[in-house]
Amino acid sequence: MHIHREGYKIIFITLLIIGLIVSVINVLAPEQQWFHYLFYVLLLGWAVWTFAFFRVPHRKLNIEDINQVLAAADGTVVAIEEVEEPEYFKDKRIQVSVFMSPFNVHVNWYPIAGEVSYTKYHPGKFLVAYHPKSSTENERNTVVVRAEDGQEVLIRQIAGMMARRIISYAAKGDDAVPGKEFGIIRFGSRVDFLLPADATVHVKIGQKVRALKTTVASLKKLNA
């Protein structure tokens, strides 16, 4: 495990603020009392959480079939439904939504192998990430990966109520490799998968998924 590069600045600022708070507390009340220790515990918890948020686990890919769609993020499945996708496909798709709490790993990895065929950032609101309208009204970033057989999977990074920045490294024409990072979201957020209507979904609502480990769905083999 290592710390994500996007966290360096925030971690530094957090530690600086904590140091200033501790200094002010001890200047105003130099004699150590119970409330000092309460503040120390709370500030330590803040520091540990900040480090943990930007952790990047080193995981071995769980790939047994090229048609697998792996989870691109850690979190909880909050929606599985057939929807009309208006941005790119403009047809019916199966949407699987994964909510990422502030305590989950927030790095996003490509779920299938192929080539990035489309990317687009959309400014928007900051509704709670598990709200149904967050998929279309919140700040979000869309990435579409086209597999070698031509099938495409859309991954949508969605900012939540706490999230104020979506970071995406994906660009049209990039090679998409399972296990390769394509972005991160700060802080609580959501990732939607828009799958072909004939895809087989392997997860259920309420299930905890792990990026690169959990198979979200399987795409139909076109040459079968």
The residues carrying an active-site annotation are 189
Residue of 130, 124, 110, 115 whose CA lies nearest to 68? 110
* Residue type for position 224: A
What are the start-end ranges of the H helices in 54-189? 134-137
Q: CA nearest 98: which of 219, 205, 179?
A: 205
Separation of CA 124 from chain center: 17
Structure tokens at 129: 């990430």
Instruction: Report d(CA 166, CA 158) in Å as an integer.
Output: 8
Other beta carbons less than 10 A from residue 14's beta carbon:
17
Place of tokens 């139909």: 220
Residues 176 and 114 sit within 8 Å (Cβ to Cβ) = yes
Give the Cα separation of 23 and 153 in Å (integer): 51
Continuous segment of H or E residues that includes residue 18:
helix 8-28
